[in-house]
Amino acid sequence: MLFWKEASHHIRLAGSRVNSANGPALRRFQRNFNAHSLQNQRPHRQQLSANTHLQSFGRSRRRFSATPGAAHGHITPPKPGEEIKVTFVDKDGEKYDFQVSEGDNLLDIAQANDVEMEGACGGSCACSTCHVIVEDPDLYDKMPEPDDDENDMLDLAFGLTETSRLGCQVKMTKELDGLVVKLPSMTRNLQASDFADKK
C-alpha cells in the first residue's frame, strides 16, 4: 500500500513539472499508467521509472509540434505595369475583376479575394470543387492542355463544358490577360480517393 501512495505522489510531482499544455493528455496518461510494469522493481527504481515515463512523455509531446503550412489563397501582388486582368462571374452572374501576377492560379486568386470557390483538396488536383468555365474559347486554347489527372477530375465536375478547367491548375500568364471564368451553379465534392479500391 505504501508503494502506491509513493508512486502516486511521484506521478503528481512529475506531472506538475511537465508543460501545462499537456493537461488533458497528461491526465489520461496518469490514469492509464501501467503500474504492473513496476511490480518487480525495487521501490527507489519504481519511483525513478514513474518520473522518467512522465518526463519522456512531455519531451515527446513537444517533439511532434509543427508549424502551420502556408494557407491557400496566398497570392503575390502584381508589380506596377505587370498586372494581368482576370474576371470571375459567380453563379448569380455577379462579376469580380482583379489585377493579378503572372504565375498565380485561379483557385488562389479566388480564395484570396473571397470569391466563392471551394478547393476541397487544397489545390492538389484531387477533386473538382474548383471547376471553372472559360468564357472565351480563344483564351482557353492559349492554356496548356489539361493533364490526365485534371481530366479525370473534370469528368466528376458538375456542368462540364468544352472549356471547363480546374482553377487550381490554371496559372495566369500574360497571354491570358483579360481572362473571364464562370463559376458553375453547383459543385460536386468527389475526390479521387472516393473511387480507390477498398480492401
Tens digits of residue pLDDT in 47-92: 555 555 555 544 444 444 444 444 455 788 889 999 999 999 999 9
Q: Which residues pair with 131 in a beta bridge?
A: 166
Grid cell for residue 97: 475583376
Q: Is the dihedral of CA 26, 32, 34, 36 positive or negative?
A: positive
Asked if residue 39 is part of any domain, the answer here is yes
Same domain, 90 and 162: yes
CA separation (Å) from 54 to 45, 111, 132?
A: 14, 44, 53
CA–CA separation, 191 and 121 (whole Å): 8
| Domain count for the chain | 2
Query: For residue 96, what is the domain's CATH number?
Result: 3.10.20.30
Asked if residue 145 is part of any domain, the answer here is yes
CA–CA separation, 30 and 28 (whole Å): 5
Residues 188 and 157 sit within 8 Å (Cβ to Cβ): yes
pLDDT over 70 at 166, yes or no: yes
Residues 174-196 pLDDT 10s? 999 999 999 998 887 765 555 55
Task: Go through the chain and tell me how many residues it has.
Answer: 199
Same domain, 15 and 105: no
pLDDT band at 18 (very low <50, low <70, confident <90, very high): very low
Residues 142 and 75 sit within 8 Å (Cβ to Cβ): no
The three-state secondary structure class of 25 is helix
Residues 95-119 pLDDT 10s? 999 999 999 999 999 999 999 998 9
CA–CA separation, 140 and 45 (whole Å): 73
CA–CA separation, 88 and 166 (whole Å): 14
Q: What is the DSSP letter of 185?
A: S
Same domain, 94 and 169: yes
Same domain, 116 and 182: yes
Q: What pLDDT is recorded for position 187? A: 81
Q: What pLDDT is recorded for position 19? A: 46
Write out the residue range of the structural domain in which residue 18 sits: 2-63
The overall pTM is greater than 0.85: no
Asked if residue 198 is part of any domain, the answer here is no
Asked if residue 197 is part of any domain, the answer here is no
Same domain, 98 and 187: yes
Grid cell for residue 154: 473534370
Asked if residue 138 is part of any domain, the answer here is yes
Q: What pLDDT is recorded for position 70? A: 44
Same domain, 88 and 52: no
pLDDT band at 154 (very low <50, low <70, confident <90, very high): very high
